Structure formats: C-alpha cells, structure tokens
A and B are shown apart, each in its own frame.
Chain A
Amino acid sequence: GAVVSQHPSRVICKSGTSVKIECRSLDFQATTMFWYRQFPKKSLMLMATSNEGSKATYEQGVEKDKFLINHASLTLSTLTVTSAHPEDSSFYICSAEAGEGGSTDTQYFGPGTRLTVL
C-alpha cells in the first residue's frame, strides 16, 4: 500500500514553455501533498505544501506565480512550472501524507520527475 505516482518521469522542454507535473496517491487519500526540488547530490528542498481544496503554502524564496500548485482532489496534486528557464532544470519530487493534519504522518514519495529546460 501507500503508492504515489508521478507523471511524467522525464520531460525536456524549450525555454519559455510551461510544464505540468502530476502527483497521484494511488491507494490512499492524501490530505496533504508536498512538492520538493532536489539538486544533484543534495538533500530535498521543500517548495510548497498543499492541502486539498485550499491554496498551497510556499516556502520562503519559492515564487508562487512561477510554480503553480493545484490540489483539486484527495488523490491528485499538480505542479506547473510556468515560463520555464534552464535554471529550473531539476529533479522534482512529490510526497503524499495521509491523516487528518495536526500531527506528522508518514510521507510517501513519488518516483520523481526529471525536468530539463533547453
């Protein structure tokens, strides 16, 4: 159980275009989903926290107009990188957390999406 999928696994796009990444919890309902960015040989950097039906909470330094997050249902969250530039190239990983909030529940991670902006 506790499987999280991400799509696409890999995407290459031209500078200036937008890219949407989907994150789905396949066998549980995720009240909270997280989006991370990971640079090579580095730890995970939290970008934003999203709760179903409400606006995402972005970490300091993360542009909310650049990284649009939608958490429309308890099993789906999307991250759209708008007007992508080469510096946005990275490994983006989502995680999903079951539970009712107010405490820390286990985060289950997706397989990640490798974004390359040319």
Chain B
Amino acid sequence: GENVEQHPSTLSVQEGDSAVIKCTYSDSASNYFPWYKQELGKGPQLIIDIRSNVGEKKDQRIAVTLNKTAKHFSLHITETQPEDSAVYFCAATSRNYQLIWGAGTKLIIKP
C-alpha cells in the first residue's frame, strides 16, 4: 500500500546549526507534500508545503526540496533556535486525496 517513510526518528542539533529531515513516498501520483510541526499537547501546525510542479520552496529559515524522480522530499531548517524543538511530520497525498503521514521526527535543539 501507499506509505511514507521519515528519517531520522530523533534528531539532536546544536543551536544555530542546520537540521535536515527526509521523507520518501511510494505513490508516484502524489502531488502535494506538507510539513507539520507539533508541540507537546498541541495540534500539528503547517510550516511549509510544496506541490509537484515545484522543486524547492523557501520561507525564511525553512525550506523544502522535492525530487519527484527519486520520490523523496526534505525539510531544511537553518540557524536553529530552541523554539524549533518539536516533532515534525511529513505527509504526501494518496490517490483518494487523503494525506499519508510519516512517523515523525523529534527535533531537539541543544543550547
């Protein structure tokens, strides 16, 4: 079936360094790839998304890259700050337009 794999499950980086989270998807028909940030006890918050007609998108310190041929997409956070600590989820569309979710990455920013 359709699935999304996300790595790593936990990522610890020094404050100010960059963090990269990678996802691969199985359905070649997927055309929408959002990234969500979830803080403890809260709902997921959309931080950036990308559609299949674009290879890269950037919003200040956050960027997403998409390689449709390889079926993978990545989240890049530069100049990390303590408030970036959270769990990050990637997702990709399924054939019935629902989202297939990655397992999540716990990002820890060390001061």
Residues of A within 8 A of B (CB): 4, 6, 34, 41-44, 46, 49, 93, 95, 101-104, 106-112, 114
Contacts and interface: CB of A to CB of B under 8 A. Distances in A.
A103 B97 CA distance: 6
A43 B103 contact: yes
A39 to B, nearest CB: 12
A104 B101 CA distance: 14
A34 B99 CA distance: 10
30 contacts: A4-B43, A6-B43, A34-B98, A41-B104, A42-B104, A43-B101, A43-B102, A43-B103, A43-B104, A44-B44, A44-B89, A44-B101, A46-B99, A49-B98, A93-B43, A93-B44, A95-B43, A101-B97, A102-B97, A104-B93, A104-B99, A108-B46, A109-B43, A109-B44, A109-B45, A110-B43, A111-B43, A112-B42, A112-B43, A114-B41
Contacts of A112: 41-43
Interface of B: 31-32, 34, 36, 41-46, 49, 89, 93, 97-99, 101-104
